[in-house]
Amino acid sequence: MHKHHSALGLATARSIAAAPFPGCGIDIAARRPVQPVTLIRPHAARRAARFFVEKFPGRPLYAVKANPSPDLLRVLWDGGITHYDVASIAEVRLVAHTLPEATLCFMHPVKAEEAIAEAYFTHGCRTFSLDSIEELDKIVRATRGAEDLTLCVRLRVSSEHAKLSLASKFGAAPGETRELLFRTRQVADALGICFHVGSQAMTPQAYAEAMERVRAAIVDAAVTVDVIDVGGGFPSVYPGMEPPPLERYFETIHRAFESLPISYSAELWAEPGRALCAEYSSIIVRVERRRGDELYINDGAYGALFDAAHIGWRFPVTVLREPEGRARDVAFSFYGPTCDDLDHMAGPFMLPADVGAGDYLEIGMVGAYGSAMRTAFNGFGSDETVIVEDEPMASLYVEPDLKVASNVVTL
């Protein structure tokens, strides 16, 4: 993990103050916004895209569900991402409209037959995933027996090394894979195998173990495989979650891929979501009340902080003040703005002991799932956005010395 530099709170406040709000031209110090404000960092997402394009030993597909912002999709395209993992017909339409030249891969294993047909005939999607004979038959019917399909059979693998399991809903079990792979091979132009180790995998070992499951399935079915898709799970940096460098994940995956009994021309794919967009955005919230070690803020479980409330995710936080105070950091929890007791983020979130009503906080690394999970429940929400050029609060892509230099400001 590359640590958040001590000057970052000041640098962030300065960069925000210099950024006019869309349509009003007033800086944040004068505006003192009542509603949350989203900060987006296109340069951070572009850098993450270039990292995967240049260093992953195969083809990265952006998992659109992590953040479906059209602006972000364009940034990733500019960074070299040309293939997109879509999970619904709405995502298919979104990417097709936003990036007409993009390659669509419909990787949800259970799809409506109408969605498959529209994706294939209207939007040119030729890649689909499945984990059952029923889904295979559905794809064949919906595409009218098309002969140009890349079909990826999803295997069930362990999520024990991930912070969020994805092991129970999808994936063919060991006893189901032989017939499924054999029958899929008969109708597919290209046969793939895919899996998902779970979200925020904290060790490359997760992929090594999943690849052994792939090996066993290939040997058992005795089929020629053209695509290996290692799915998502590539991590980002959060408090208490400091993963190894992504290069170690790539090296582990590459070694395992090279040892598989597959076609000499087989392709290696991955579906990063969080790792491409977590650093893209943060939010500015205001403290409306303090009650002991609880802070009432104007965003929460029904906004950008769904993960903090429902799965206990801890995000980096900082108070925006000039000059910075000297109070020691202590642990706080948050309440969001709605009337619901579930609108609670336990944290702990480390902030200065003297933080209170009227203070503005930046909550970082919400580019993944934060925007996607937002609602307008109880009438709360905001779509105000500011583009900023400072560095994210944590990063897997920035060298420490460069990060320090980029966040030093001259008063």
Q: Choose the weakest-confidence range: 154-163, 193-202, 337-346.
A: 154-163
Query: Measuring CA to CA, which residue among 362, 395, 366 is closest to residue 72?
Result: 366
Q: Which residues contact 208 (CB under 8 A, 6 or more apart)?
A: 252, 256
Q: What is the mean pLDDT of residues 309-325?
A: 85
Flag whether pLDDT at 17 surpasses 70: no
Assign 5 a pLDDT band (cuts: 50, 70, 90). very low
Q: Would you say the C-alpha torsion 223, 112, 65, 369 has a positive or negative sign?
A: negative
- H/E stretch holding 12 reads helix 8-17
Looking at residue 24, its pLDDT comes to: 32
Looking at residue 311, its pLDDT comes to: 84
Distance (Å, whole) CA 334 – CA 357: 13
Burial class, 173, CB count within 10 angstroms (exposed 0-12 / middle 13-18 / buried 19+): exposed
Looking at residue 227, its pLDDT comes to: 98
Distance (Å, whole) CA 46 – CA 119: 27
**Nearest 10 degrees: Cα torsion 147, 149, 150, 153:** -90
Query: Which pLDDT tens digit goes with each residue over 169-197?
Result: 888 998 999 999 999 999 999 999 999 99
Assign 89 a pLDDT band (cuts: 50, 70, 90). very high
Q: Is it true that the peptide bond before 348 is cis, omega within 30 degrees of 0? A: yes
Q: Which residue has the tokens 């944290």?
A: 347
Looking at residue 27, its pLDDT comes to: 60
Assign 400 a pLDDT band (cuts: 50, 70, 90). low
Mind giving me the DSSP string for 334-359? Answer: EE-SSS-TT-EEEEEEEEETT--TT-
Flag whether pLDDT at 312 surpasses 80: yes
What count of other Cβ atoms lies within 10 Å of the Cβ of residue 55?
12
Task: Give me the phi and psi of 217, to 5 degrees please.
Answer: -65, -40
Q: 148, 154 in Cβ contact below 8 A?
A: no
Looking at residue 408, its pLDDT comes to: 32
Q: How many residues does the chain have?
A: 411
Domain boundaries, the chain: 8-41+279-407, 57-271
Average pLDDT score over the chain: 88
Q: Which CATH class is domain 57-271?
A: alpha beta
Flag whether pLDDT at 147 surpasses 80: yes
Angstrom CA distances, 123 to 150, 153, 185, 279, stand at 15, 22, 24, 30
| pTM for this model (two decimals) | 0.89
Q: Which CATH class is domain 8-41+279-407?
A: mainly beta
Looking at residue 42, its pLDDT comes to: 97
Task: Give me the phi and psi of 68, to 5 degrees please.
Answer: -90, 20
Show the tokens assigned to 32. 């003192």
Q: 251, 204 in Cβ contact below 8 A?
A: yes
